[in-house]
Structure 1
Amino acid sequence: MTQTTQQLTFEEYLSYDDGTDIRYEWVDGELYPMTPATRQHGRIIFYLARLLAGEIQRLGQAWELGLGDVGVQTTERRVRIPDLCVLTLEQAQVIENIAAILTTPPLLVVEIVSPESIRRDYRTKRSEYAAVGIPEYWIVDLLAQKSSILQLEEGFYDVYEFTGQASLVSPTFAELTLRPDQILRGI
């Protein structure tokens, strides 16, 4: 992923439009283009979105999903765009008619690892998401054929890795039955 060399303020980032469909994360004033997803990547996002939307409805929660269209401000000079996030109704209302950048932590974020995002998803975003207090962070790793659920405890993430047909354990969706092999196939 190649960043721009142009320095932007947060306000400039919020209104930035280069006339393309490219999404950008904002890191220390620079734009980092998000690599377009593979078809498998997209299939996993939509599979998880359908599953989580159904679970949100079943639980009767006033939560909404962001599908790569909601940013999370992780520091004064950084905005990350997770592949999927679960936000409260209040958060959704705040960003209804403005740039969709959360300044409060969503309930859960999901990142699908791609070859160019390994370090960013496992290290950089992990520390940033923990610092802003995101209680649950899922990492779906197609390359390693595993899914990890990170739970925030006293400012740090405890990591629980799942492979094959082992059932994932999510604090946010405690009754959800989901296996890594299902996620990785997107079915």
Structure 2
Amino acid sequence: MTAEPIAGSTPSTGPVESGARWPVPPREGWTVDDLLTLPGLPPRTELIDGGLVFASPQSSFHSVAVDVLVSGLRRTAPPELRATRDMTVVIDKGNAPEPDVSVIRSEAVTGRQVTSYSVADVVLAVEVVSPDSEYRDRDTKPRKYAAAGIPHFWLVEMGGADHHPVVRVFERSEVTRTYALTGIHHDRLKLSVPFTVDIDLTEIDHL
């Protein structure tokens, strides 16, 4: 459903200059169609349970941790998989989060104008924890990813005096449809699933 504009605003725009007010949300909540078509939304806006979630400015750690992971995944991913960053993943009508890193099936990349992917095409979702999104990254989003069938999930946080990434690796149980922790990785991330992964997490010191 498309929102009705508020008084003093142009249809479906962002804040108006005089009052800096957003359009009134639809009674049933925002939808994926709204997220993908409303003009003027800030970068990295997500849709969670029918609500628009706006991201705060990212820290240097967040940015370079994503760089290290994307580079490492692209280096080792098989041809049938692609690693990407900051792309919307459509789960259902009212949920379209944007993982910091995703590994998707190559066949889902149908052109350079693609702005979102179906959750069915996602093999791995990665969230780098930020202060403003800590609860969503640790609880809300992994629960939704697991329920939607994403097989693998990584949670990345800054740890230790050297501020290196600490990666918690989770795999989905087909029985419980929830994630189980399979390992905590410091300095080096070596895995055999969803494919052979070998990432030197200390590379963050050079970025």
Fold-level similarity (TM above 0.5): yes
Specify the SS of the correspondent of 1:85. strand
Give 1:1-187 correspondences, 5 Å limit.
Answer: 6-7=25-26, 8-18=30-40, 21-56=42-77, 59=78, 61-68=79-86, 70-93=87-110, 96-142=112-158, 146-154=166-174, 155-165=177-187, 167-174=189-196, 176-178=197-199, 181-182=201-202, 185=205
1:88 counterpart letter in structure 2: R
Shift of 1:76: 2.7
The higher relative CO (CA closer than 8 Å, separation ≥ 6) is in 1
Shift of 1:143: 5.2
Larger radius of gyration: 2
Structure 1 CA distance for aligned equivalents of residues 198 and 119 of structure 2:
31
Shift of 1:47: 1.2
Residues 44 and 54, structure 2, Cα contact 8 Å, conserved in 1 = yes
Unaligned runs of 5+ in 2: 1-21
Let me know the Cα RMSD of the aligned residues: 2.5
Unaligned runs of 5+ in 1: none
Structure 1 CA distance for aligned equivalents of residues 148 and 113 of structure 2:
23
Shift of 1:170: 4.7
Q: Which contiguous aligned blocks of 4+ residues in structure 1 show a shift greater than 6 angstroms? A: none
Residues 65 and 84, structure 1, Cα contact 8 Å, conserved in 2 = yes
Structure 1 CA distance for aligned equivalents of residues 99 and 199 of structure 2:
20
TM-score (norm 2): 0.73
Specify the SS of the correspondent of 1:124. helix
Shift of 1:99: 3.2
Structure 1 CA distance for aligned equivalents of residues 184 and 119 of structure 2:
30
Greater percentage in helix:
1
Structure 1 CA distance for aligned equivalents of residues 39 and 142 of structure 2:
28
The verdict on how the C-alpha distance between 1:132 and 1:16 changes in structure 2, with shifts beyond 3 A counting, is same
Structure 2 CA distance for aligned equivalents of residues 78 and 84 of structure 1:
17
2:25 counterpart letter in structure 1: Q
Residues 89 and 119, structure 2, Cα contact 8 Å, conserved in 1 = yes
% identity of equivalent residues: 22
Structure 2 CA distance for aligned equivalents of residues 184 and 142 of structure 1:
11
Specify the SS of the correspondent of 1:11. helix
* Count of residues paired in the alignment: 176
The verdict on how the C-alpha distance between 1:171 and 1:103 changes in structure 2, with shifts beyond 3 A counting, is closer
TM-score (norm 1): 0.80
Residues 130 and 157, structure 1, Cα contact 8 Å, conserved in 2 = yes
